[in-house]
Amino acid sequence: MKPVAIFRHVQIEGAGYFSEFLDRHEIPFVMINVDENASVPADPTAYSGLVFMGGSMSVNDPLPWIPHTLQLIRNAVAADIPVLGHCLGGQLISKALGATVSLNPVKEIGWGEVYASDNDNARAWLDGLGQFTSFHWHGETFSLPQGATHIMKSAWCDNQAYVIGKTLAMQCHVEMTADMVAAWCRHGANEINDAIASPGVQTPDQIQIGMQTRLADLNRVADRLYSRWIKGLPQQ
């Protein structure tokens, strides 16, 4: 089986629980650390799937790797290779497929409820789950590309996730680990302070209350989504 390529854009926003999931299912993967100037490959067929993690930048920033990433995503979708995006990763997929990324009306930082859409795709990808508590850290949001099916929303962000074929794009972070949450709270303390008046923003102390229980619950949600996603991976 060809490896899954995981693209990291910021050192503290790595593969997290997703890499644990792949290891448990004995699926090989390679990390492509864009934050360390790794080149974005041009040919998606070298991989069984592409996974894009989060990042503090915007997909609308004039960064040299973004056009290459957008073209890679388009090539992968055209070749029927599954693509998965977390937060920035979901925004990259959206922009690559012709949708827009813009400011969300409310910044979301911390834990918040996510609600499944009432359609067959949402029920299939979430294995019938109607609601769960996810982790959030974003100020922008994506619109849906043509042909996409909406599968999740939250109180502060209408478009939390969609699917299009074998591709899943998410605004929320289901990949979190305890180390990642702690690191984000440290590195993002100023951002939290600047946005604390937002109804969607929690303090670092609030974020870390009951974190182990919340993460265990989130891992189970991630298992549902990731299990559905890997069904699309070619076995050769």
Q: For residue range 13-39, what is the model confidence (pLDDT) as tens digits?
A: 999 999 999 999 999 999 999 999 999
- CA 165, CA 147: separation in Å to the nearest integer? 9
pLDDT digits (tens, 9 = 90+) for 130-147: 999 999 999 999 999 999
Contact 115, 153 (CB under 8 A): yes
Instruction: Give 65: exposed, middle or buried? Use CB within 10 Å, 0-12, 13-18, 19+.
Output: middle
- CA 148, CA 218: separation in Å to the nearest integer? 24
Q: b/e map of 145-179 (b: 16 or more CB within 10 Å)?
A: beebbbbbbbebbebbbbbbebbbbbbbbbbbbee
Helix 211-230, helix 178-187: angle, nearest 10 = 110
Provide the 3-class DSSP secondary structure of residue 134.
strand
What's the whole-number average pLDDT of the chain?
A: 97
Mean pLDDT for 74-85 is 98
Q: Where are the domains of the chain?
A: 4-230
Mean pLDDT for 143-166 is 98
Could you tell me the sign of the dihedral formed by the alpha carbons of 61, 62, 66, 67, in that order? positive
* pLDDT reading at 55 higher than 90: yes
* pLDDT reading at 106 higher than 70: yes
Contact 151, 159 (CB under 8 A): no
Which helix or strand (DSSP H or E) is residue 227 part of? helix 211-230
Mean pLDDT for 190-206 is 96
Other beta carbons less than 10 A from residue 230's beta carbon: 17
Pairing of strands 161-164, 149-154: antiparallel
Structure tokens belonging to residue 122 = 């949402």
* pLDDT reading at 236 higher than 70: no
The amino acid at 80: D
Q: Which residue matches tokens 């690191």?
A: 183
* pLDDT reading at 174 higher than 80: yes
Which pLDDT does position 235 carry in this prediction? 79
* pLDDT reading at 80 higher than 80: yes
Query: Domain spanning 4-230: which superfamily?
Result: Class I glutamine amidotransferase (GATase) domain (3.40.50.880)
Q: Could you tell me the pLDDT band of residue 227, with boundaries at 50, 70 and 90?
A: very high
- What residues form DSSP beta bridges with 29? 4
Q: What is the percent of the chain with per-residue pLDDT over 90, rounded to a whole number?
A: 99
The amino acid at 116: A
Which pLDDT does position 118 carry in this prediction? 98
